[in-house]
Structure 1
Amino acid sequence: MSYRQIDHTADLSFEVTAGSFEELLGEALRAMTEWSGPEWSSERVERDFRIEAPDRVALLVDLLNEALALSQIHREAYDALSIRSSGEMFVEGSFLGRAISGARDEVKAVTYHGAKVEERADGSWLAILLMDI
């Protein structure tokens, strides 16, 4: 499980790899959160979610955008997932994180443009994501 930032002229792009699709979701969330540099408090939080989408690319993008929306609404940041159930077109669980007092940078949205999710021949997963900053 890992991620790396990819050079992009105007926005933020990541390549994320993991051993399973569920791990890929968590790694993508962690990459986005770590990049923004939240100023964490000690208060732990958990926010439930259920995302339904027509494919795995949309599922990943929609999941990250849901995390961004909840982060803004509740002044929290999430660096992990607890997945209760998932399938080809849905995932449900909880975002895990902490309250924040601010952040170094802000991701405005995760875009569908150039987004990619694929399972590799060895069973690992790869995602390419573009984020509006």
Structure 2
Amino acid sequence: MREWEHYEHTADVGIRGYGSTLEEAFEAVALALFDVMVDVRKVEKRECHELEVEGEDLMGLLYSFLEELLVLHDVKGLVFGDFRVKIEKDGTYRLRVVACGEPLDYGKHEPREEVKAITYHDMKVERLPDGRWMAQLVPDI
């Protein structure tokens, strides 16, 4: 089950995603990222984009994943509200995602904060004692 939240951080907002699998945690933290920018509950799945990124470790993978989503947002003006992630490891980590959303509509999506960049600040990707996965970081707002 995917869950996400924002958490207080000095002068910024942190984003955190939980899931019963690593993939679900990555999906949830991506939802948290876009919910910083818009009300993700109002984003419809009108178009989907497939992306593939790699990372030497899970934090590098998370950084690359969210950075690619942010680039799509900045370049094409898209916001996303649904993600289907698949992660494989064969020496390095590889993530494939289908990200679905639509062009940003200021009247519909209620824009909030502008996320300028993904950072490694307070970044963690870990398995929790209850068996769930958690992914978190503080983006540059």
Fold conserved (TM > 0.5)?
yes
Partner of 1:7, secondary structure, is: strand
For the pair 1:61 / 2:74, whether they are aligned, the reply is no
Alpha-carbon distance in structure 2 between the residues aligned to 1:80 and 1:41:
8
Alpha-carbon distance in structure 2 between the residues aligned to 1:121 and 1:8:
24
Gaps of 5+ in 2: none
Alpha-carbon distance in structure 2 between the residues aligned to 1:10 and 1:55:
28
Which residue is equivalent to 1:108?
A: 116
Which of residues 41, 44, 47 is equivalent to 2:46?
44
Q: Which amino acid aligns with 1:28?
A: V
Q: What displacement does 1:35 show? A: 1.9
Q: CA RMSD in A?
A: 2.1
User: Is the strand fraction higher in 1 or 2?
Assistant: 1
Which residue is equivalent to 2:75?
A: 73
**Alignment check: 8 A CA contact 1:38 1:100 kept:** no
Percent identical? 27
Partner of 2:73, secondary structure, is: helix
Give me the TM-score of the superposition, normalised by structure 2. 0.83
Q: Which amino acid aligns with 1:126?
A: M
**Alignment check: 8 A CA contact 1:52 1:91 kept:** yes
Q: What displacement does 1:112 show? A: 0.9
Which residue is equivalent to 1:96?
A: 100
Post-superposition, which runs of at least 4 consecutive aligned residues in structure 1 deviate over 6 A? 39-43
**Alignment check: 8 A CA contact 1:77 1:100 kept:** yes
Gaps of 5+ in 1: none
Alpha-carbon distance in structure 2 between the residues aligned to 1:41 and 1:2:
17
Between the two proteins, the alignment pairs up a number of residues equal to 132
Partner of 1:105, secondary structure, is: coil
